[in-house]
Structure 1
């Protein structure tokens, strides 16, 4: 059964750190494809100012297009809001019965994973692949030793979408931080200014 890594994010905007992680998963783990799922609104980031869903999806599509094993997904656009990962995972399982899904999350998200809606069901029915990420929380011991959770030695992302938005707003050039396909798209549409 083909294994698909699900990389959820607002991708506000998608940047080279996201792309580096996606490439790591398809080249260094058992994951055969990574689907970058554009989240309309993260339930844990209620005060984040988001660019329109379809603009963010377009940026993810542009970033994935040149890469054979990376795909964009808008599945959450049609689900009730706020949407939770468990709902998306169930919808994907119903739609793609011939695929196996694993969730790709950062250590920061694992530290608060016990607060996620349906986290026990996610752990029972789906694998988690956890990449290093700077975080302030402590990862519960039961997650560290859980058989469906694997820690991977992916490169740490030193790029932040929040910092990119701030740099754009202050007039700085961020093209070196973005997939080449998106630098001009952001500029042309005057996003985040």
Structure 2
């Protein structure tokens, strides 16, 4: 079985995440997409994260109606901070009959060369990339990044998927909840109910 791993803190999971995950499950050669809830991203302050269990529960609620989308807490059991290369090794040992690939946004592809052991990841795993709106960058870096990006885009293990461009962020949702604004259209209904019932993100 071909599994696409969609990593994220999902703090909270929103309709944008589901649009991308479902598109990958329906419009690529992947059989399933696993939403891997990250307990601690090395690039984010852990203090800003909702409890691991609550974020996992919201992914369960969001994925209930999508049989090809599965929640995963695999990184909860691994040493922190979590590095993707270590998670991939663990998964391949646990599920030797599965073929694991990564799902990432085009913005993350640009920083792939900074990942721990990224060469080993590319050697053993495919990467499915969905489009993101590029932000402006320092002009002095443009040439270097363009060359790096071109190298990755032409790599045989990297597949560019013509998925919808979704620019919804969990940060935007959290900030709006704190300000008392209505964010229901941005969240799966059961996730919004869970957040509202538990008064999350209001302080």
TM-score, L = length of structure 1:
0.96
| Rounded Cα–Cα distance in structure 2 between residues aligned with 1:46 and 1:152 | 30
2:167 counterpart of 1:167: no
| Rounded Cα–Cα distance in structure 1 between residues aligned with 2:55 and 2:34 | 15
| Rounded Cα–Cα distance in structure 2 between residues aligned with 1:45 and 1:154 | 26
Q: Please list the CA deviations of residues 3-42 of structure 1 after superposition, one character each: whole Å capped at 9, or x if unmatched.
A: 1110000000000000000110011100110000000111
2:192 counterpart of 1:183: yes
2:98 counterpart of 1:99: yes
Q: Which runs of 5+ in 1 are unaligned?
A: none
Counterpart secondary structure, 1:172: coil
Count of residues paired in the alignment: 192
CA RMSD of the aligned region, Å? 1.2
What is the correspondence of 1:31-42 to structure 2 with a 5 Å cutoff? 31-42=30-41
Matched residue, 1:81: 80
C-alpha deviation, 1:48, in angstroms: 6.5
C-alpha deviation, 1:47, in angstroms: 6.5
Counterpart secondary structure, 1:20: helix
What is the correspondence of 1:134-149 to structure 2 with a 5 Å cutoff? 134-136=133-135, 138=145, 140=148, 141-149=150-158
Matched residue, 1:120: 119
2:152 counterpart of 1:153: no
Which aligned runs of 4 or more in structure 1 are off by greater than 4 angstroms?
none
Matched residue, 2:70: 71
Q: Which runs of 5+ in 2 are unaligned?
A: 138-144
